[in-house]
Structure 1
């Protein structure tokens, strides 16, 4: 393997260097592989497809070499030669998919999942799978089959979940950005924990996030919550990956972020209300409160109309969300005796899901549909809603799993009380780190289709 040259400072700069021929795809992939190997103790990556990635890089270099310099901008795919890794919940051809579980088979995927195929068609080169919690179920990335994903800002602390391995790799500079998925905060929680930008797009913004049949609700009528989106070090890098994940042939989100300086006059609500307050305390740390207030002040200085707002949420939300969030566990098919190999939290919530009456699932779905309609209307009166990010710094590795499963879940809700409500509503949100400390930052919630605008606001906060 060639000597590592190091990525340029941002994913956008790396992409531009690759498209200009200033760095070969093989150099970029080789460098990424060396970095991942050197930081194996971080627990970011669980499997690597080095030979496949290097072969893809060779083909990318041959494609560039065959083009006159004058034709490269038009003919090369947008992410030509850019390496990336994929959560180990998602199929990548030639690599096993473990779902982070000792209770399930780990087949080697014969083909890419649709989202991976879109990024590969955009010129990106998948080279590894990243650590996840079992079945993507928790806000921390620890399981029974691989070392936990550790936070590069403090390796004694969690990198978050479920996109924890991806966030750790990006925050440590091992990869330029990370495609993630988010069903209750799984992009935004690890992004905030690791000091990154994370965008949860609105439902349907990324091709393949909605199934071909079934529409925006699951079989019991609850809103579909899981979407794909980017984790990156800068809003511009997040926009670059978001455009690619959408399969765009141009870069509308990136163009919008480049004009962030000109954005002003938006009506922005400021709120620290959480629907989980009906069931759990929302113990906002002093640093989280200061970051929230500082972001509001900064947005006002930039010419936006910033208004305190009070949102009253349905007190049935906590129980309805937990019911809907764990419903899929009842459909999990396991070999005889395999359930004993599930993580304690997964096993307990699966047992409850199996015992639950379908009418209870339907009732929870109805509560969440009404919740979604109500908050879309209330939040939609504003261009964006500014909330705190995480309530406190990232807990230490092992802090969650040391608890009884119900207390484990409670701590997750207390740590991240502002994320799942956005998934239920189906609207986009972006998280932005603050300079004050580990895991401290804010979230901006937007209307449907406002992802570029949210990324512009993120860029303003980080300018």
Structure 2
């Protein structure tokens, strides 16, 4: 349920609440807000109140399933007290050193954010986007929220997700759908749709997401943001299982590559060291890599290109004109920066670029975990038709067929590095057509709903199967104000390189 955006009157709020002068976070980057807070030009309470006010003012976008403004403001007040105690009583020389140490230990100090409602955050209800199961309120954070909170970030609530995070649109029976700030009649994507909507609308400066088949990149593309999917096992709080059964990873969503790098460094557990560039605050390796690329350029890279989808020929994939323009403009930006763009729809020279039977095999992989559920009749009836369809598919599929599909995708995943061929980066379109209107996917029969989701996002899930990192980079805005993107797929361990590429492509 969505809680009120203002502290309840019977609970004591922080004693020092400056009058808010900000309406949202689009006036500056997360890095700029970080610098201002450490320097004392803005307080954590002011930033948190801005996030809460923006969420209340734009609640029609459906970004949140739950808001907890009072707890957020109390934590912000505590952070301000700590900051004052550390910095304000020192001499100017000692103060500078203390600022640097504080920013290194807590690189997200006072930064408002929110986690999607698939993760546990202490004291906030976890619904997983379903009305079929009762919400539970955990006493402890999941590992990723714990890490982000330890870096000084302040969670103001839980963001909207589809049921169990399964579809690529964030709609459920619990609260209004997550709408696209660029076109509110359209979906913000999924499953990190609420988080992307919050960042795109300026309710948050940045947000962590998770990506099991495109769930960071799809909403980032829909809302005109940078979205990074790290490789399998790259982040310490993700499952460290080298198998295609382990599809989901965590990744940052932000307006800029620098902001995404800041959050990625925190999520990756990187150490923040003194930096001589930009704001002078300590930076992690990803942020330093992006800044170096922005200031000095990058070494020449070889970019392969394909517009062939792994869902073809089982599904007819048709790219909108703007999707093609976004790919072309992204490739042109890469060439302008000295990179070599090569390839065609079959850029490895193979007869078919992707593995045979991918559509069938991925559907088996995606739905198999649902076959292990044993919901009651009442729970099943409370689930969305698409979820029920997935459960039925999984339970009715012969075990031999499931094993065959997973084995085929395991073989493909094992050869993912070789599959990249001679290219450092593989480029594809991101979304095939514009984000549909709210309710359109759900209005379809479940089988066609799933097929349309594959047609809408024809290049994302295969990267999860391969276990490689990929980034969404906005490259084109159409006449209606909708954003279109290119997807860049990298080799294992190339997350920092992808962020640097995104930074240079969007520079200026």
What is the total number of aligned residue pairs between the two structures?
456
Partner of 1:54: 73
Aligned pairs for 1:329-344 within 5 A: 329-344=370-385
* Runs of 5+ unmatched residues, structure 1: none
CA displacement, residues 115-142 of structure 1 (integer Å, 9 cap, x when unaligned): 0000001111111100000000000001
Deviates more, 1:310-319 or 1:169-178: 310-319
* Runs of 5+ unmatched residues, structure 2: 1-16, 88-94, 273-283
Q: Does the Cα contact within 8 Å between 1:188 and 1:431 map onto a contact in 2?
A: yes
Partner of 1:457: 501
Q: Does the Cα contact within 8 Å between 2:476 and 2:483 map onto a contact in 1?
A: no
- Pick closer, same or farther for the CA change 1:365–1:14 going to 2, 3 Å: same
Q: Does the Cα contact within 8 Å between 1:3 and 1:31 map onto a contact in 2?
A: no
2:266 to 210, 226, 244: 244
Q: Does the Cα contact within 8 Å between 1:278 and 1:315 map onto a contact in 2?
A: no
1:419 aligns with 2:460: yes
Partner of 1:122: 151
Partner of 2:485: 441
Deviates more, 1:272-281 or 1:333-342: 333-342
Partner of 1:313: 354
Partner of 1:232: 254
1:301 aligns with 2:336: yes
Partner of 1:253: 286
CA distance in 2, matches of 1:2, 1:100: 35
CA distance in 2, matches of 1:399, 1:240: 36
CA distance in 2, matches of 1:175, 1:5: 16
CA apart distance, 1:278 = 2.4
Partner of 1:104: 133
Partner of 1:73: 100
CA distance in 2, matches of 1:459, 1:171: 18
CA distance in 1, matches of 2:38, 2:312: 49
CA distance in 2, matches of 1:216, 1:334: 29
1:4 aligns with 2:26: no
Aligned pairs for 1:7-86 within 5 A: 7=25, 8-68=27-87, 69-70=95-96, 71-76=98-103, 77-86=106-115
CA distance in 1, matches of 2:311, 2:301: 28
CA apart distance, 1:434 = 2.1
Partner of 1:216: 242
Q: Does the Cα contact within 8 Å between 2:122 and 2:137 map onto a contact in 1?
A: yes
CA apart distance, 1:259 = 1.6
CA distance in 2, matches of 1:14, 1:380: 42
Name the TM-score, length of structure 2 as normaliser. Answer: 0.87
Aligned pairs for 1:351-390 within 5 A: 351-390=392-431
Partner of 2:10: none
Partner of 2:298: 263
1:92 to 121, 140, 157: 121
1:281 to 316, 322, 333: 316
1:142 aligns with 2:168: no
- Pick closer, same or farther for the CA change 1:417–1:453 going to 2, 3 Å: same
Specify the SS of the correspondent of 1:430.
Answer: strand
CA apart distance, 1:264 = 3.5
CA displacement, residues 235-259 of structure 1 (integer Å, 9 cap, x when unaligned): 1111011001112221110010012
Specify the SS of the correspondent of 1:145.
Answer: coil
CA apart distance, 1:3 = 3.0
Q: Does the Cα contact within 8 Å between 2:325 and 2:476 map onto a contact in 1?
A: no
CA apart distance, 1:19 = 1.6
CA distance in 2, matches of 1:275, 1:235: 28
CA distance in 1, matches of 2:330, 2:102: 41
CA distance in 2, matches of 1:458, 1:395: 26
Say which one has the larger Rg.
Answer: 2
CA distance in 2, matches of 1:367, 1:393: 32
CA distance in 1, matches of 2:85, 2:332: 52
Q: Does the Cα contact within 8 Å between 1:390 and 1:439 map onto a contact in 2?
A: no
CA distance in 1, matches of 2:361, 2:371: 16
User: Aligned-pair RMSD on alpha carbons?
Assistant: 1.4
CA apart distance, 1:439 = 4.0
Aligned pairs for 1:191-202 within 5 A: 191-202=220-231
Name the TM-score, length of structure 1 as normaliser. Answer: 0.96
CA apart distance, 1:374 = 3.5
CA displacement, residues 369-423 of structure 1 (integer Å, 9 cap, x when unaligned): 1222344312152110111111111111111001001111111111110000100
CA distance in 1, matches of 2:329, 2:148: 36
Deviates more, 1:441-450 or 1:75-84: 75-84
